[in-house]
């Protein structure tokens, strides 16, 4: 199914210089919403100037109120909706418009799936990789029930009016919104989070104060292995100390039997990063066990795993289908994490070799291979662009490559390594269509794109995962 090329003209117009428009903050005017932007915000045009308005949907007529004026565009909010979209639904979460992670909860799910395919379209039109107008863009694969899927809760802990709160930052601020419920979280993560908040309150554990840069507990991270119902709890602290640690651990053991691992991560001072360098065990095991594709995986505190366990097997199945492996294939698993992708495809290949920059993840990956009796998969710590040339120098020839990079896309040096190495079969799993499209500009110098399959790993958000199948020209 090829997409409609009329979008190209629309985007070309948007790249032209925006006209000067006399407008003031707080000014209101009627606005017809034409489409959704890549972050899920409504987009309309006021006197030919682009207006971004969160929460508005295509074909709606709203009264927009200007919140910020930029040289090239306007930010606005909805003052009133005059004509509602038939795709508008009532969000389950009252704070859906205040914090990230719920950008599309007001949009009916079938329309969310269509939007995620359109995000791929917009990204391709922005960067113009070779032949992009002829790519086959498949309909987005979605969930049967697009709620209660997130296996990890990473909530900021603060004190407001002597009450301990746990939640996410309000959009554009460092003000924590207390999330007592959260419809997209797997329920056990929220049960544990609310119990831990009560313990911190009862025991009067010092809570981090960002302005004063004092206090101890900054963040609580909870991950649940859905197949085993094992949970890991991590306290991210401002110092090595954790006051009331003994009482806290006693209560966790007594009240939260699903928590089999309690860890402390030390991350001192004011920083935008959630994790610090040091993670130490406090009680129980140092990992939890999850099953994917009938394989058992040990997950340490900082190990990467997809947030949606219900769609992860589907995503990896699409990756394997795209590779179309034979028993003679040598596969590179770049950005391998704990080996979830590579080990899932190892039975279809001659050998899998992977790498990751996080040493703990590599240790987990090799342990996961061992405990699942997989002898043809091996993992090393390092950057792909450093490791792959070393393997080539030793005479190992890869025939297939699968990458699952972070949101920033492929490292520039790795891109050059891929263009030099040129494995015949290539699957790119993307969690950011914009950087994917940017990477495809270089990759399509030597590869043809067969198709792009979008997969909804994060319903109710504007995030989109995509599987790109390529082959050498």
Q: Among all residues, which ones are annotated catalytic? A: 431
Short-list 126, 120, 88, CA closest to 107:
88
Pair type for strands 28-32 and 61-69: antiparallel
Round to whole Å and give the CA distance between 164 and 438: 43
Round to whole Å and give the CA distance between 237 and 271: 12
The encoded tokens of residue 125 equal 């039109």
Round to whole Å and give the CA distance between 142 and 161: 41
- Could you tell me if 231 and 271 are in contact, meaning their C-beta atoms sit under 8 angstroms apart? no
Question: Which string of DSSP letters, residue by residue, matches 6-61?
Answer: HHHHHHHHHHSPPPP----TT-EEEEE--EE-TTS-EEEEETTEEEEETT--TT-E
Round to whole Å and give the CA distance between 204 and 79: 42
Q: DSSP 3-state assignment of 465?
A: strand
Round to whole Å and give the CA distance between 94 and 373: 47
The encoded tokens of residue 163 equal 């009450």
The encoded tokens of residue 301 equal 């505190």
CA atoms 421, 427, 432, 435: torsion sign: positive
Round to whole Å and give the CA distance between 383 and 389: 11
H-state helical runs in 298-346: 309-323, 340-345
> Other C-beta atoms within 10 Å of 28: how many?
13
């Amino acid at each position: 199914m090829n997409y409609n090329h009329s979008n190209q003209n629309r985007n070309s117009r948007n790249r032209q210089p925006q006209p000067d428009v006399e407008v003031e903050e707080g000014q209101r005017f009627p606005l017809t919403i034409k489409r959704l932007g890549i972050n899920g915000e409504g987009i309309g045009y006021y006197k030919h100037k682009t207006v971004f308005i969160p929460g508005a949907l295509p074909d709606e007529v709203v009264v927009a109120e200007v919140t910020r004026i930029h040289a090239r565009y306007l930010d606005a909010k909805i003052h009133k909706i005059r004509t509602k979209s038939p795709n508008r639904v009532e969000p389950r979460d009252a704070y859906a418009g205040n914090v990230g992670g719920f950008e599309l909860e007001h949009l009916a799910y079938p329309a969310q799936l269509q939007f995620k395919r359109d995000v791929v379209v917009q990204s391709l039109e922005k960067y113009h990789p070779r032949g992009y107008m002829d790519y086959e863009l498949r309909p987005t694969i979605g969930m049967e029930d697009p709620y209660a899927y997130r296996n990890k809760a990473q909530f900021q802990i603060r004190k407001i009016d002597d009450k301990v709160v746990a939640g996410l930052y309000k959009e554009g601020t460092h003000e924590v919104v207390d999330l007592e419920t959260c419809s997209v979280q797997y329920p056990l993560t929220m049960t544990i989070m609310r119990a831990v908040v009560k313990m911190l309150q009862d025991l009067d554990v010092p809570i981090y104060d960002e302005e004063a840069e004092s206090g101890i507990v900054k963040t609580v991270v909870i991950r649940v292995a859905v197949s085993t119902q094992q949970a890991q709890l991590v306290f991210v602290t401002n110092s090595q100390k954790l006051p009331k640690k003994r009482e806290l651990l006693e209560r966790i053991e007594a009240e939260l039997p699903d928590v089999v691992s309690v860890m402390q991560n030390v991350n001192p001072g004011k920083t935008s990063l959630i994790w610090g360098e040091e993670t130490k065990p406090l009680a129980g095991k140092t990992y939890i066990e999850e099953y994917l594709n009938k394989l058992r995986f040990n997950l340490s505190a900082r190990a990467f795993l997809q947030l949606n366990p219900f769609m992860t097997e589907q995503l990896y199945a699409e990756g394997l289908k795209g590779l179309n492996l034979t028993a003679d294939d040598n596969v590179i698993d770049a950005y391998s994490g704990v080996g979830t992708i590579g080990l899932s495809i190892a039975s279809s290949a001659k050998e899998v070799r992977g790498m990751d920059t996080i040493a703990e993840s590599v240790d987990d990956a090799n342990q996961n291979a061992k405990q699942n009796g997989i002898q043809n998969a091996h993992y090393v710590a390092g950057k792909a662009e450093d490791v792959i040339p070393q393997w080539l120098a030793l005479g190992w020839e890869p025939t297939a490559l699968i990458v699952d990079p972070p949101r920033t896309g492929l490292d520039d040096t790795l891109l050059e390594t891929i263009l030099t190495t040129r494995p015949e079969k290539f699957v790119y799993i993307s969690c950011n269509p914009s950087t994917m499209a940017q990477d495809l500009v270089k990759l399509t110098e030597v590869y043809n794109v067969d198709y792009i399959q979008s997969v909804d790993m994060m319903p109710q958000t504007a995030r989109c995962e995509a599987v790109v199948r390529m082959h050498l020209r």
